[in-house]
Amino acid sequence: MRVVVAEDLYLLRDGLVRLLEAYGHDVVAAVGDRDATVRALEEHRPDVAVIDVRMPPTHTDDGLRAALEARRARPDLCVLVLSQHIEQLYARELLADGRGGVGYLLKDRVFEAEQFIEAVERVGRGGTSLDPAVVSKILGAGATSPLDALTDREREVVALMAEGLSNQAIAQRLFLSEGSISKHTTSIFTKLGITPDDNSNRRVLAVLTFLGATGAA
Amino acid sequence: MSHARGGPLVVARSLVEGLTRSLVLVALTGFAPAVCVAAGAGLSAVVDTAAGAAGCLLGVLVAVLVLVARPVSAATRFLVARWTGGELPAAYQPLVPVTRMATGYWWNGYDYQRLRWFSLCQRWILRRTRDPAAWRDVLWLLVAPVTVGVASAIPPALIAVGVAGLAPHPVTSVVAVGVGTALLPRSWRSLGPVARRVLGPSTVELLSTRVASLVRGRADLTRAQDAELHRIERDLHDGAQARLVAIGLSLSAAERLVDTDPAGTRALLRQARATSLAALRDLRELVHGIVPPVLLERGLVDAVRALAVDAPVRTVVRSTLGRRLDTPVESALYFATAELVANAVKHSGATVVDIGIDRTGTGVAVTVTDDGRGGADRSRGSGLTGVESRLAAFDGTLRVDSPPGGPTTATAEVPCASS
């Protein structure tokens, strides 16, 4: 895959480039601030961009904004956003268009090289990858939500779906057959009122409902 | 309409009210002069020489000023508060109890004395001579009769003259009664402004109160800052620092084993990685406690939204705030909001929390409303006190309205420039 890496800390940028190249990906640009990121995304049109939330010039959420803007301009762009901290708010903003091809992970996940690369590839193929920290926070919140209609098993499934796992991977994780997982997912889509639609990814919509579970406006 | 202006009942009520209030004020302000006049008359009858009478009169005058001043001004404050609705608080210097120090001397707030009774006497005198508020009481005693006293006395006097037919001509009597009646509802109102001018705190006192509160605020802030620094130091020392040491140890052990024991080396490296993850987690929590990253990145409104998303009850955030505020103000309001939401979740049993962030006339206000059981008492939880002192650093205020049975509304407001 052709990858753009945007990260302002040199050590981390360098590490990411090495890691991605070690797994056979082609890093077409490695940049360190917002403007360079925007330029690199336009110029190289990568399969996937790995972008840090906080970057120069303002050192606030420049990276996230650049990612959101780039996706608005080019809907098929896939981005994996990395951060030192995880906010449900940001996850929801990233997934809001319901199209998939987005990921949002803690920087710590880089330590698990294989899983990280898997996440990059999944996002590059148009899937999603949400940090388990976001997922567990939502499950721990215990507020009233559309998720109440789901059975415990279905909640487990939707949580893994949020992390970005495929039915097959979910089946492996829960020691169930792929067939029963697909039954669960159909039931989840029905309960959450998600109808088949060509333009949006049903799995992403389910994850969005999941993110909205705490009901905050 | 039933409450039409100038209905006969309303007029009658305001006249009766004016009459009673005027008479009360005449009695209050005329009391001290009356005592002096009575004493003068009595003394001149008893004492033969003019000099002796004058001396005695002076004595009576001083006694009246000293003894009557404070009760009269207390009564005045009471009437001002009751009739005009505006408070006119007394601002005496605090009464220091006479206490025996380790040296055996008695301290009365002003001076050390060997004898207790002497110390008590000294305090009694100094409280009346050193305190500007005491002098204002005396001034009021002198000023009130010729201002408020006269103003309140005129309408009843005019009416009395007219009614008793003492005026030289019937027309004059009618005019006197008319003017007196017209003035009756108004003249006593001179009490408010005059009393405020004479008895109210002076600019110097207002400023010194302000300075005192600023000094207190600064001390609180310095203490809070110091405590915060210590907490950060402790957290770093026990958390991330210790974990980095552990990582270093694992790595050096792994370095030694790398040739002889690949399996052991792998285990050590795994351990080092797990520890580094834990160190990162520690640092993240620490950073979040200092200033939540989302507050820095997005400002108050989004930070509160993120807070709402993480809250275990349904939390709605509304905001009309357009732009970012100063970072310290944002920080203070954020932590205040976090505390208020935590209180609502923990103590009230609320199912819905509503947060409003709005610009007010003078600043920005965050209102946290919950549908819980109410009855929140700020004197019990130290959380609210902490919020208050944090807000006080920016001249901010915290209002809590929490009737038993709910709902609870808490408003944190910080003044700030509006453009």
Label residue B356 exposed, middle or buried (CB < 10 Å: 0-12, 13-18, 19+): middle
* d(C-alpha B144, C-alpha B162), whole Å: 26
CA nearest B141: which of B36, B233, B22?
B36
**Phi, psi (deg, nearest 5) at residue B57:** -60, -40
H helices of chain A, in order, are: 10-22, 34-44, 62-73, 88-95, 113-124, 132-141, 152-163, 167-174, 178-191, 202-211
Same domain, residue pair A180 and A95:
no
* Dihedral sign of CA atoms B401, B406, B407, B412 in order: positive
CB contact under 8 A, B284 and A214: no
Greater confidence (A72 vs B416) lies with: A72
B4, pLDDT greater than 60: no
Write down the pTM of the prediction: 0.66
Q: Which of A106-110, B8-12, B23-27, B240-244 has the lowest mean pLDDT?
A: B8-12
Judge whether A113 is closer than 8 Å to chain B, CB to CB: no
CA nearest A211: which of A175, A151, A159, A150?
A159
Label residue A214 exposed, middle or buried (CB < 10 Å: 0-12, 13-18, 19+): buried
Judge whether B315 is closer than 8 Å to chain A, CB to CB: yes
Tens-digit pLDDT string for chain A (217 aa):
899 999 998 888 999 999 999 999 999 999 999 999 999 999 999 999 999 999 988 888 899 999 999 998 888 899 999 998 888 888 888 888 778 889 999 988 888 888 899 999 999 988 888 888 877 776 665 555 666 778 888 888 888 888 888 888 888 888 888 888 888 888 888 877 777 665 557 777 777 777 765 433 3
Judge whether A88 is closer than 8 Å to chain B, CB to CB: yes
Chain A residue with the nearest C-alpha to that of B299: A60
* d(C-alpha B224, C-alpha B331), whole Å: 14
Q: What was the pLDDT predicted at B1?
A: 41
* d(C-alpha A71, C-alpha A101), whole Å: 10
Domain end residue (candidates: A121, A141, A161): A141
Domain end residue (candidates: A108, A141, A174): A141
For B95, B217, B401, B414, the CA distances from B395, given in Å and listed in that order, are 28, 9, 20, 6
- CATH number for the domain spanning A80: value is 3.40.50.2300
Judge whether A53 is closer than 8 Å to chain B, CB to CB: yes
Within 13 Å, how many C-alpha atoms sit on residue A91's CB side? 33
Q: Which of residues 91-110 of A touch B (CB under 8 A)?
A: 92, 107-108
Mapped onto helix, strand or coil, the DSSP state of residue B221 is helix
Q: Which of residues 159-188 of A touch B (CB under 8 A)?
A: none
Judge whether A57 is closer than 8 Å to chain B, CB to CB: no
Average pLDDT over all residues of chain B: 84
Same domain, residue pair A192 and A171:
yes
Same domain, residue pair A90 and A162:
no
Report how many domains make up chain A.
2
**Phi, psi (deg, nearest 5) at residue A82:** -110, 150
- Listed as own residue / partner, the contacts of B3-6 with beta carbons closer than 8 Å and 24 or more positions apart are none
Same domain, residue pair A114 and A167:
no
B38, pLDDT greater than 60: yes
* d(C-alpha B115, C-alpha B107), whole Å: 10
B254, pLDDT greater than 80: yes
Q: What is the rounded average pLDDT of the residues B291-318?
A: 87
* d(C-alpha B75, C-alpha B65), whole Å: 15
Same domain, residue pair A180 and A89:
no
Q: Report whether B180 contacts B156 (CB < 8 A).
A: yes
For A193, A195, A201, A203, the CA distances from A186, given in Å and listed in that order, are 11, 10, 13, 10
The residue whose two tokens read 């919020």 is B387
* d(C-alpha B30, C-alpha B146), whole Å: 9
Chain B residues touching A87 at Cβ < 8 A: 293-294, 306, 309
Predicted confidence (pLDDT) per residue in B341-377, tens digit: 888 888 878 888 999 999 888 889 999 998 888 777 7
Q: Which residues pair with B408 in a beta bridge?
A: B370
Q: What was the pLDDT predicted at A13?
A: 92
Domain end residue (candidates: A101, A120, A141): A141
CA nearest B323: which of B419, B223, B185?
B419
Q: Which residues contact B258 (CB under 8 A, 6 or more apart)?
A: B265
Helix, strand and coil content of chain B, in percent to the nearest 5, comes to 70, 10, 20
Same domain, residue pair A126 and A162:
no
Provide the residue range defining the domain that includes A133.
1-141
Chain A residue with the nearest C-alpha to that of B284: A85
DSSP string, A37-50: HHHHHHHH--SEEE
Given A84, A141, A216, which is nearest B305 (Cβ)? Answer: A216
- CATH number for the domain spanning A175: value is 1.10.10.10
Predicted confidence (pLDDT) per residue in B101-130, tens digit: 888 888 888 888 888 888 888 888 888 888
End-to-end CA distance of chain A: 37
